[in-house]
Amino acid sequence: MNRAGWKAILRTLWQTSMVGAWTLVTVQAATVRIDTSRAPALKAWADSTETIAREWYPRLGNLLATTQDHPLPNVSIRVNPDFKGVAAASWSSIQISANWISQHPEDSRGAVIHELVHVVQAYPPNKVGWLTEGIADYLRYAIYEALPLSEFPRPEKPQGYLDSYKVTAGFLFWLECDRAPGIVRQLNTALRLGEYQETLFSERTGRGLNDLWSDYLTALRPLPNLPRDPQIWRHAKGSFEHKTNGNWTEFENGKPVWNFIEMSRTPQYIEIVDGTRNLRLRLASPMVQLISKSGWSTLYTGEWSAPSSTKPPAN
């Protein structure tokens, strides 16, 4: 064999051994240990929680993976009888209150998941604590606890997303399901790299953060039921009226302008379609909604009115 041949073999051996070493390093999962030496009565709780934490910790790491190399550290959780708060993470060590576990056993595993997310996050200092906590509660409630979106609190106020924790978590959950799938991972990467800017929301959705919050409230607000025999839906400049053949006509300034076919009816809205313009609307109180690529949005505000009424409602 010539020199080049030997070199090729040596290079292959070297690369194979490197791949072997690399595989060994990456398959070695980080562990989670729970120390109950100061709260021995909680040993059974710790054993079952440790199993769950060991399953979920790498998963949380995968869900929030960035392109940057970010190995997970081993985590130690101390059950502390003197701890005044509920639970807190500092780098890879978590403290949790022994009293609180005893009083809220049903919440305590979720609290551990929340703190494990903080270990995974490992963000440099930033001014968006609401988002850091929102991401932790999103993974806890929406993913780990599988809570339905309708059960997240939604305060009816501008910038409610700043309420942090479970409120922000619900907002992120809606964005993931509706306007911006994958945004949590994208936000996490930006926060980890210290590159987060609020414009990330508008770049993804075409809507600013405040507008998205308002869209979220509208989308989740329960609609009132339809009137018993819905015939006319009015807004400031026109109406949608039920025809004798069961379909609908849109009027503007008293003149018929477009025809719609009624597609379906739920207790809250009637869905109508104008095939010539590929337009799908929902007639509901207090708005007509229009479907587009980004989901349902409000086209007009107005309400159902009795056939005898000629006055459009105040808008």
Q: Which residues bind Zn ion (CB under 5 A)?
A: 133, 136
- The Cα–Cα gap between 71 and 275 comes to 53
In the complex, the smallest distance separating the C-beta of residue 197 from Zn ion, rounded to whole angstroms, is 22
* CB-CB contact of 179 with 294 (8 Å): yes
3-state SS class at 230: coil
Q: 42 and 101 in contact (C-beta within 8 Å)?
A: yes
Report the C-alpha gap between 270 and 37 in whole angstroms. 62
Strand partners, 295: 292
For Zn ion, the closer CB: 118 or 234: 118
- Residues 289-301 as b/e (b if ≥16 CB within 10 A, e otherwise) read beeeeeebeebbe
- The nearer residue to Zn ion, 86 or 279, going by C-beta atoms, is 86
**Shortest Cβ 133–Zn ion spacing (Å):** 5
Q: Which is nearer to Zn ion, 45 or 138 (CB)?
A: 138
| Min CB(111)–Zn ion separation in Å | 9
Smallest distance, Å, CB 235 to Zn ion? 44
**Which one, 136 or 272, has the nearer CB to Zn ion?**
136
CB nearer Zn ion, residue 116 or residue 288: 116
| Edge-to-edge strand list for the sheet holding 32-35 | 32-35, 75-80, 93-97, 87-90
CB of 228 to Zn ion, least distance (A): 49
In the complex with Zn ion, which residue's Cβ is closer, 133 or 250? Answer: 133
Q: Shortest distance, CB of residue 178 to Zn ion, whole angstroms? A: 25
Contact predicate 105/45, CB 8 Å: yes
**Inter-residue contact 77 to 89 (CB < 8 Å):** no
Q: Least distance in Å: CB of 108 to Zn ion?
A: 14
Identify whether the C-beta of residue 152 lies closer than 8 Å to the C-beta of residue 145.
no
Structural contact between residues 32 and 50, judged by C-beta atoms closer than 8 angstroms: yes
Give yes or no for a contact between 31 and 75, defined as CB atoms under 8 angstroms apart. yes
The smaller minimum CB distance to Zn ion, of residues 129 and 206, is found at 129
